Structure 1
Amino acid sequence: MAIGTTIKKARKKAGLTIRQAAETIGISEPSFSRMENGYNEFSVQRLLRLAELYDVSPSALLENSIVAAPSKVDLNRMRQVVETVQAVVNRMKARTSPEKMGLAVSEVYRIEIEHIIQDPKAEFDPKRHQSLIEAMFRK
């Protein structure tokens, strides 16, 4: 897949029109369209601006693998999961390995993501995961 096609796909995924994207990075609609269609080259600076606009990593655009950058909500939720797992482990006075901690955090985060998909406005509730975490660290 050509980079122009990837940029177009990222723009559509971000829900932006050619006009909106072009205005944001400071070029004309026809220039932007030519860029997406592979007729115009673009600078590294423009690539960085597009990645920021589309909330993806610059390397994702270059590698043709659009992966959304984690949002502040995602990062905050991950922090809450890590803090919750650590608090339960501390309360239990459990001795654990980094691998087991990583497994617990990733499993709780996976469950939390599924919960968010079902209810996007749901707040994080550590009680929802307490019994699972305790089961993972029982001797």
Structure 2
Amino acid sequence: MGIGSNIKGLREDRKYTQEQVADALGVSFQAVSSWERDEYKPDTEKLIRLAEFFDVSVSAIAEEKSNAFKTKEAIYDWEHMKTYVKTTARNFKLPNTLKAVDYAIKAHEGQSRKHSSIPYIYHPLNLACHALSMGIVDDAVIAACLLHDVIEDCSVKLDDLPVDDEIKGLVSLLSCEKTNDQNRKEIISSYYEAISGNPKASLIKCMDRCNNLTTMPWGLSRDRIYRMIKETEEYYPVLLKTIKDTTEYNNAAWLLKYQMESMLDIYKRLL
């Protein structure tokens, strides 16, 4: 696949017409059509603007895909993860987790992970399974993993959650208010500072970041990837220290730090 096929694939994946792409770039739809047919190639400026429009890296448009590996968007089926979490919750008597599973599935119904067709519920279930795989069988932690995004993404209120006050407190800490270019630094700094004071919230946020790092190749732009790397390096060492200083989370701290730093190193080399 050449540049033309890449442009056409991105356009069709996002359900844009040639006219919409042309309007966004200030060119004619005939120009877009000629790019997609590989009759002409967009110049460097247009490549950059195409990447910004589709929110992908320039390489996602410019590189040949004939030797590309086949990749998986999801490793585990979310319904299998749901069954595992619910079975574990019953076996270990985790009442809040049992209520949180069904609530999260309903709250995130119809939502997908960014730039993919994967149901969004895959993400909170992945966090819950991540915690359980590290031997953390804590009702508050698992339930908060499942509910950590519902306030931000599902238009529900904290008091609506069918869980106890400790879990509501964790979800509140993990919910970040909307930011813009002017206030982002101040809000994000306060957000991570508050989380760092709570070992359980720090644990969940680090698992959340590990999972989100795995989704960066799904089509994030180079600038977005760069921002995620810088944010991880700036704020997550403090969260990891909070986890490490909590005796029952010592092993989790090592595993999360290893996973996070390994992934960051891979992305830096690829960039």
Shorter-normalised TM range: 0.5 to 0.7
Aligned-partner Cα distance in 2 for 1:96–1:88: 8
Q: 2:37 is matched by which residue type in structure 1? A: N
Question: 1:51·1:61 contact (CA, 8 Å) conserved in 2?
Answer: yes
1:87 is displaced (CA, Å) by: 2.4
Give 1:29's aligned residue: 29
Structure 1-normalised TM-score?
0.56
Measured in 1, the distance between the counterparts of 2:30 and 2:220 equals 28
- Name the structure 1 match of 2:243: 88
Q: Which residue of 1 aligns with 2:42?
A: 42
Structure 1 12/64 Cα, relative in aligned 2: closer, same or farther at 3 Å?
A: farther
1:7 corresponds to which letter in structure 2?
A: I
Aligned counterparts, 1:46-85, within 5 A: 46-64=46-64, 67-69=218-220, 75=228, 79=232, 82=236, 84-85=239-240
DSSP 3-state at the match of 2:59: helix
Structure possessing the higher relative contact order (Cα contacts under 8 Å, 6 or more residues apart): 1
SS in 2 for 1:88: helix
Distance 1:22 1:46, change over 3 A: same
Q: Provide the C-alpha distance between the structure 2 equivalents of 1:51 and 1:11, rounded to a whole number of angstroms.
A: 11
- Structure 1 residue aligned with 2:113: none
Aligned counterpart, 1:10? 10
Give CA deviations for 1:20-41 in whole Å, capped at 9, x if unaligned: 1100001111111111111122
- Cα gap change, 1:86 to 1:7, in 2 (>3 Å): farther
Say whether the 8 Å CA contact 2:55–2:220 is kept in structure 1: yes
- Tell me, in whole angstroms, the C-alpha distance in 1 between the residues paired with 2:45 and 2:256: 42
The AA in structure 1 aligned to 2:219 is A
Q: Compared with structure 1, are the counterparts of its residues 98 and 58 closer, same or farther at alpha carbon in structure 2 (3 Å cutoff)?
A: farther
Amino acid at match of 1:69: L
Whole-Å Cα distance in 2 between the matches of residues 38 and 58 of structure 1?
Answer: 17
Separation of aligned partners in 1, 2:242 and 2:59: 36
Q: Calculate the aligned-residue CA RMSD, in Å.
A: 3.8
Q: Indicate how the Cα distance of structure 1 residues 100 and 69 shifts in structure 2: closer, same or farther if over 3 A, else same.
A: closer
Question: Following TM superposition, by how much is the alpha carbon of 1:17 offset from its aligned partner in structure 2, in angstroms?
Answer: 1.4
Are 1:60 and 1:67, in contact at CA under 8 Å, matched by a contact in 2? no
Report the Cα offset of residue 84 of structure 1. 4.7
How many correspondences in the alignment? 102
CA contact (8 A) 2:4 2:38 kept: yes
Q: Which runs of 5+ in 2 are unaligned?
A: 66-216, 262-271
Contact 1:55 1:69 in 2 (8 A): yes
Q: Structure 1 CA distance, aligned partners of 2:257 and 2:20? A: 44
Once the two structures are TM-superposed, the CA of residue 99 in structure 1 deviates from its matched residue by 7.0
Alpha-carbon offset, residue 91 of structure 1: 2.9
Shift of 1:11: 1.4
Q: What is the deviation of 1:46? A: 0.4
Checking the alignment, whether the CA contact within 8 Å between 2:51 and 2:61 is kept in structure 1 is: yes
**Counterparts in 2 of 1:99 and 1:49: CA distance versus 1, 3 Å:** same
Counterpart position of 2:258: 102
